[in-house]
Every structure is written in structure tokens, then in C-alpha cells.
Amino acid sequence: MSYLLNALTFLVDLVFGAVATLFLLRLLAEATRADFNNPLSQFLYRYTNPVLAPLRRVLPNWRRINLSCVLLLWVLMLLQRVVIFALYGQLPDLLGLLVLALADLLDFVLLTYLVLIFIWSLLSLFPVDQRHPALRLVGSLVAPVLRPLRGKLVAGGLDFSPWIVVIVLVLVRILVAAPLTALGVQLALGH
């Protein structure tokens, strides 16, 4: 029975993760002002706009942050947790669910940035066309995170700023997201 639950949990994580990734990339592309003429940016806008356009009428942007997208991502994380708790036959406390969804969203953003920085670093090692849509989009998404350290940690022609940013992101996952998740689980299960 636990094998079936593990498989179902995996599928729920996969589906919700794919949808959340689409909306998170839209949020990041909008916040970093990624090139709208990029075909990947157009794909993100095309498939997220039908959901976000009505929400934006109620919840406008704050600076460059699409608050309706943030709210939708948080609701997706909340629904994912509800489905997983339902699979296991548990009825969690609402406050715990809200905290867990927030922790999941924070962890998801941090993990997405880790993956994006890894992809960007890996692509920069190979002779790739700098105009490739994927490279341009990933480059514009990671630029604000890397910008404060770019060029300041160069040794032997290598820029170590991505390494430092990755270390900081992992530490934030360990020191902020993990305790927040533990608190959410504790509140959800009433321990």
C-alpha cells in the first residue's frame, strides 16, 4: 500500500511542480524584465495569461512583482499539500497548511534558482550561441541574483560568484525553509 501512496505522491508532486514551474518562470521573467520577443517568454505569457489576467484586475502588480502570480503559486502549493494529506487520510490544521504552503513556495523558489544557476553555469562552459532563446531567458532570470557578486570573485579567469550564490541559496533552504516546513508540519498535525 505504501508503494502505491509513494507513486501517487510522486505524480501529485510532478503535476503540481510542472504547473508551479510554469507560473514561477512567468513571475521571474516579468520581475527581471526578460525579453518579451524571446519565444520562451512568449510561451510563458501565452499559457499563463488566461489564468493571471482576471486575477490581475483584482490584485495589481507591486513594483515589478506580479502579486496575482505569487498568490496563485501559494494556492498551488496549498492545494498540493491538501491533496497529499488527503492521500494519506489525514485532516491537517488550516494554520499548519497555510504555513506549509508558504514554506513550500519559498523552498520551490530557492530550488528553482539553484537549478537555473546550474543550467546557466553549465551552458556557459560550452560554445553555445549566445542568442539562443533558452540561454537568453536563463541569463536574464539569474542576472539579478548574480549581479551583486559578478566580477568580484574572479581567480585565474574563473568567476566564482555563482558558487557563492549557490552556497547562500542552500543555506537559506537549510536555515529558513526547512525550519518553516517543520513548523508547518507541527502545526498541521497538531503536535
Q: Which residue has the cell 550561441?
A: 129
Confidence of residue 1 (pLDDT cuts 50, 70, 90): low
pLDDT in tens, 129-182: 878 888 899 999 999 999 988 878 777 777 788 999 999 999 999 999 999 999
pLDDT in tens, 88-131: 999 999 999 999 999 999 999 999 999 999 999 888 778 878 78
Q: What percent of the chain has pLDDT over 90?
A: 76
Task: Give CA–CA dist 35/16, Å, rounded.
Answer: 26
- Could you tell me the pTM of the whole model? 0.91
90-107 as b/e, with b when 16 or more CB fall inside 10 Å? eebeeebbbbbbbbbbbb
- Every domain of the chain and the residues it spans: 2-189
CB atoms within 10 A of CB 44: 23
Mean pLDDT of the chain: 92
Task: Give CA–CA dist 111/169, Å, rounded.
Answer: 8
**Chain centre distance of CA 10:** 18
Q: Residues with Cβ < 8 Å from 154, sequence gap 6 or more?
A: 160
Report the pLDDT value the prediction gives residue 160, as an integer from 0 to 100.
Answer: 84
Task: Give CA–CA dist 160/157, Å, rounded.
Answer: 10
